């Protein structure tokens, strides 16, 4: 098992990171090291049995279990979880982006320390970013208050993650790194974090798909998850994340699947403006990044069409309109016609054609 402290932002305390088989059993020891005595365990309804097992293992250090975490961190669920946290002095989140997001939302409001055991590759645990949804609108914020104190990556926790979820979660993480490479505030450190994360997934994901229980491949991809999440904390995001937040919040789409489907199209849209920044990825994938990501996702069996998620074609005009309101910074202008064309391709599941697609 490996343990290290990661801190890249001045004035922010470093986060303790553990990586290795069985490291999940160290939660109680980490609580004691931090001087904490009562942990509220957080999960989704589907992962409640894992939460119950963890709560039992904590014994007197456990405060209770809240198992109603949901996609996109709805405000009403956050408020219910805050009520359940009365009397707790910390949070232990075991799960993916939904559960980790709930822990962050509670920490933002109540200042409770967090220990996180990720069970997917989304990387949210490594960031000071929180996305929350109220009345169908998802908004994001950055705050050091939401960053966990301890992250424990245990390959055994993702060894039983279904292959489809493994793939979409991994592509979600890759999306962070792709956008980091052309971020307005990118720098040599963020570039190396991003490229390291992409390489880990391009190398490790095929092995995980071939042998889901391969703990070495799972550990490699978990390290990639940390790299991609960490780079998300370093720089701002652009069009891809704006579209995912827009579609996810408005149409209640599954987070990782939405990222996986949109990524080749958003990368293809921006590649014409940032081909130099994406050149190392093009070399890794053997061609233009948009098409290369599409082919890589296809080789892993990832979903590739928004219509498969229940989006109807008539929704695309509204989605394009929402996407151009209060847009994130982007290296290529965010124009409604271009975004509408991008969404059409993502809805159909067609392969991005070339650097000159979307009217260029």
| pLDDT at residue 11, rounded to an integer | 61
β pairing state of 114-118 and 90-95 = parallel
Strands of 90-95's sheet, edge to edge? Answer: 2-6, 15-19, 150-153, 114-118, 90-95, 39-42, 62-66
CA distance 26 to 5: 16
Strand partners, 270: none
Mean pLDDT by 10 residues, the chain (360 residues): 69 86 96 97 97 97 98 95 98 96 97 96 88 87 93 95 94 96 96 97 96 95 94 91 91 93 98 97 97 98 97 96 91 95 98 59
CB atoms within 10 A of CB 354: 15
> What does each C-alpha distance from 249 to 81, 132, 192, 245, 252 come to in angstroms?
20, 9, 31, 6, 5
pLDDT, one tens digit per residue, over 300-333 is 999 999 999 999 999 999 999 999 998 889 999 9
| pLDDT at residue 355, rounded to an integer | 45
pLDDT, one tens digit per residue, over 113-164 is 999 999 988 788 998 889 999 888 888 898 999 999 999 999 999 999 999 9
| pLDDT at residue 5, rounded to an integer | 72
Total residue length of the chain: 360
Token code pair at residue 326: 């209060």
């Amino acid at each position: 098992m490996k343990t290290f402290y990661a801190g890249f932002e001045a004035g922010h305390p470093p986060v303790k990171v553990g990586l290795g088989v069985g490291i999940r059993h160290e939660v109680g020891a980490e609580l004691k090291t931090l001087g904490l005595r009562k942990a509220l365990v957080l999960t989704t309804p589907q992962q409640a049995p894992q939460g119950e097992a963890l709560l039992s293992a904590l014994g007197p250090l456990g405060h209770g279990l809240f198992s109603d975490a949901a996609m996109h961190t709805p405000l009403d669920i956050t408020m219910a979880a805050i009520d359940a946290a009365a009397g707790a002095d910390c949070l232990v989140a075991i799960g993916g982006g939904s559960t980790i997001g709930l822990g962050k939302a509670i920490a933002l409001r109540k200042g409770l320390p967090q220990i996180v055991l990720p069970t997917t590759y989304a990387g949210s645990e490594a960031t000071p970013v929180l996305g929350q949804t109220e009345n169908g609108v998802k908004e994001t914020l950055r705050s050091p208050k939401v960053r966990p104190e301890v992250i424990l990556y245990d390959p055994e926790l993702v060894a039983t993650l279904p292959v489809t979820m493994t793939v979409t979660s991994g592509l979600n993480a890759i999306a962070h790194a792709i956008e980091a490479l052309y971020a307005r505030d990118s720098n040599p450190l963020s570039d190396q974090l991003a490229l390291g994360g992409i390489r880990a997934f391009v190398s490790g994901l095929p092995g995980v798909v071939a042998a889901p229980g391969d703990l070495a491949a799972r550990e490699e991809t978990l390290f990639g998850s940390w790299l991609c999440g960490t780079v998300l904390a370093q720089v701002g995001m652009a069009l891809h994340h704006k579209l995912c937040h827009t579609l996810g919040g408005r149409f209640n789409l599954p987070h990782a699947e939405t990222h996986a489907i949109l990524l080749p199209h958003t990368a293809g849209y921006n590649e014409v403006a940032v081909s130099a920044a994406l050149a190392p990825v093009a070399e890794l994938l053997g061609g233009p990044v948009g098409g290369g990501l599409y082919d890589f996702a296809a080789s892993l069996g990832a979903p590739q069409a928004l219509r498969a998620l229940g989006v109807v074609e008539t929704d695309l005009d509204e989605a394009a309109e929402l996407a151009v309101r209060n847009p994130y910074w982007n290296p290529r202008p965010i124009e409604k016609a271009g975004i509408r064309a991008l969404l059409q391709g993502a809805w159909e599941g067609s392969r991005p054609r070339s650097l000159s697609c979307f009217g260029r």
